[in-house]
Chain A
Amino acid sequence: MEINNNQLLRFTTAGSVDDGKSTLIGRLLYDSKSIFDDQLEAIESTSQRKGHDGVDLALFTDGLRDEREQGITIDVAYRYFTTPKRKFIIADTPGHIQYTRNMVTGASTANAAIILIDARHGVIEQTKRHSFIASLLQIPHLVICINKMDLVDFKEEIYDNIVKQFQDFSSKLLVKDVRFIPISALLGDNVVNKSENMTWYNGAPLLHTLETIHISSDFNSVDARFPVQTVLRPQREGFIDYRGYAGRIESGIFRPGDEVTALPSGFTSKIKTVEGPKGELDEAYAPMSISITLEDDIDVGRGDMIVRSNNKPKPVQDLEVMLCWMNNSPAQPRAKYTIRHTTNEQTAMIKEIMYKIDIETLGRNFEDKEIAMNDICKVRIRTTKPLMIDSYRENRSTGTLILIDENTNETVAAGMIV
């Protein structure tokens, strides 16, 4: 297969334990011929040993020894497949254990989320939670797969009813694009091929949907943001005075000649050159890794941000953040944490826990202020120096942060700036 101009689509899959998530992923890999013969043979022999009829497609997604022994998924696993139209990365997140932490992780880089609903049970609490997290993380596209249609005789009324249930509740969520597909992951109906058992369904099967979802307009092309990772100073002949600012464009477009400002210093200059992996460029855009040289010799280093002078982020020291707690040790109000925002690092303090989201009812709890693993809450954070922020809704890069516990060096929380 040649390199072509195909795009990469990253999606995450969510479902509860028995929704058939592993079977669906196995089916996608199998039917798109992404499974090799030696993998298939290994699965066939395991299926036989376990006494399954035929090949258990779910076994393709087994990873660690404990997972195989206990029949569960512990951590996010990444899977890959390619079709003639796109390359796909699946963030396969566990349905039960620590699902919030893992789903948030998987969702953070996803263009789309697949949410599975068991046709026999309809919309359940777990569906609501998964949809809420997808909405919180602003995944642009949601594909709701109503699975196990074979167990409800492929009935249209059942599907219609579940779609309605979902729409009633999802009107409160902030997802722009929601699609519904009736499937049977086990039998393959509407996964890769159109179902012959559900001729009443006029939409596309899942794979075709994933291949054609329009994603190139999902990224922010307006606000030019370039956090500096490191400064390139070759110190060799021909490049003695060279000073290149290396980083990745998080949003917007940069061109030679652009009037830019380095933050937080506020020094201004003009872009002299923009260089990408293939050499000099007339323009560069997210998510390209580039280096920029400026007309003037100004002081810029890691943690600074180069932006267009007519469109700057806000310098802010007091932030309101939706926080997902990811560590076994609970949040300590007023304790100090290291905050990572783009390439910038500061010390921060959680000043106030405003409320906690009740993940069962999706309501706000203003009483319980204990923040433990998998909790989602809204907090006020103060940093020692200003961060250059956009809101998460406007920018999935400059609107995000993590907290690191200075005593353990562990990443304890992920935050989305409100």
Chain B
Amino acid sequence: MSKYYLNYIDELESEAIFVLREVWAQFQNPVILFSGGKDSIVVTHLAKKAFFPAKIPFPLMHVDTGHNFPETIQFRNETLKKLGVDLIIGSVQESIDQGRVAEEKGKSATRNSLQITTLLDTIEEHKVDCAIGGGRRDEEKARAKERFFSHRDDFGQWDPKNQRPELWNLFNGKYFEGEHFRVFPISNWTEMDVWNYIKRENIAIPSLYFAHEREVVWRSDSWIPNSEFLTLEDGEKIVTKKVRFRTLGDITITGGIESDADTLEKIVEEVSGMRQTERGNRTDDKRSESAMEDRKRQGYF
């Protein structure tokens, strides 16, 4: 066999770097959407490589729901310091205070869909023309139809039936005033690829991904962490378990799994044996069969 070929992870890495450089070349004011979750961490790591020895030439943007894991915020701040890049914060609490959105009511209320307004407002306020995200096509059925360069209209909306064809590696990022793009450099990566890459590159991730003791409550088939935002329902009780999180979202909706995986090696091993999708522990996706599609159409991540 010829020695001139890349293995799959190197090919995915090169593809993502190519996409990130296209963003820099084609847009005026891009940002990386940084949640402190593993996918946005990997995208940021790839951006570091794409522009080395220059630093990442654009800021990170965090949509802060106010319902954070404290560990995530700490990790975010450390990352910024290391990279020497700026941070733009969009605050859901501010959107609520300004009356732009209303808090959901009822026992399954979350701030998940409230983020859409804050995200779009922040994009508009800072004249962002491209928001780079860590979305992957293997995550969810609506995401499987995403382009690398995904056009959003004046209202920030996604029209899955009228997407620009994307051929070879020719990405068209042209837009009119008021419109913007979402770009997904790791579209072709799977959860396993992300973990394998984190391990190979020894990328720092929040401690929440590693197994640790935590107060939790059993709800919707997973362990929801105790926090100041949690209201116990009848029959629920707080217990201490050794858990870890496969994805990180709001503390109110991100369920943990029982696990002993406290090293990257053990996590990779555990994930490769998983029989449930990672979003299976996210109550935001369980609302209906097209929960993700509906939110994406409105402008979600």
Contact = CB atoms under 8 A, between A and B. Distances in A.
Interface stretch (B21-29, B60-68, B208-216): B21-29
A277 B49 contact: yes
B280 A36 contact: yes
Contacts of A402: 167, 170, 172
Given A216-B1, A246-B50, A411-B164, A7 B272 contact: no
A53 to B, nearest CB: 22
Interface string A24-68: 000000000000111100100000000000000000001111101
Contacts of A74: 160-161
Nearest to B294: A65
Interface in A247-287: 247-248, 253, 275, 277, 285-287
Given A248-B169, A400-B167, A216 B5 contact: yes
A340 B170 contact: yes
Contacts, number: 194
A335 interface: no
Interface string A130-165: 000000000000000000000000000000000000
B257 to A, nearest CB: 13
Given A75-B163, A397-B168, A409-B175, A232 B14 contact: no
B167 A229 contact: no
Contacts of A235: 54
Given A80-B137, A246-B21, A3 B9 contact: yes
Nearest to B137: A78
B275 A37 contact: yes
A230 B18 CA distance: 10
A79 B164 CA distance: 19
A2 B114 CA distance: 39
A378 interface: no
B53 to A, nearest CB: 5
B144 interface: yes
B264 interface: no
B277 A66 contact: no
B166 interface: yes
Contacts of B8: 6-8, 86-87
Contacts of B24: 230
Interface residues of B, number: 66
B14 A288 contact: yes
B190 interface: yes
Interface residues of A, number: 79
Interface stretch (A103-111, A189-197, A349-357): A103-111
A64 B14 CA distance: 30
Contact of B160 (A6, A64, A242): A64
Interface in B140-182: 141-142, 144-145, 160-161, 163-170, 172, 174-176
Interface in B240-294: 268, 272, 274-277, 280, 289-290, 293
A302 B21 CA distance: 11
A78 to B, nearest CB: 5
B11 interface: yes
Given A288-B14, A411-B165, A230 B21 contact: yes
B17 A277 contact: yes
A396 B168 CA distance: 8
B161 to A, nearest CB: 6
A343 interface: yes
Interface in A92-132: 101, 104-105, 108-109
Contacts of B289: 42, 65, 68
Interface in B5-42: 5-15, 17-18, 21-22, 24-25
Contact of B200 (A3, A234, A244): A3
Given A64-B142, A291-B52, 20 more contacts: A1-B196, A2-B268, A5-B7, A63-B144, A64-B290, A68-B290, A76-B145, A78-B187, A79-B144, A80-B137, A87-B193, A104-B165, A216-B2, A219-B4, A229-B25, A232-B51, A288-B6, A289-B17, A289-B18, A397-B169
25 contacts: A1-B272, A5-B7, A8-B7, A63-B145, A64-B142, A64-B145, A64-B293, A108-B167, A214-B1, A216-B1, A217-B2, A229-B21, A230-B25, A242-B53, A246-B21, A277-B14, A288-B10, A289-B14, A289-B18, A340-B170, A396-B168, A400-B170, A401-B170, A404-B174, A411-B167
Across the A-B interface, give the 3 residue pairs with the lowest CB-CB distance, nearest first.
Answer: A289-B17, A8-B8, A409-B174
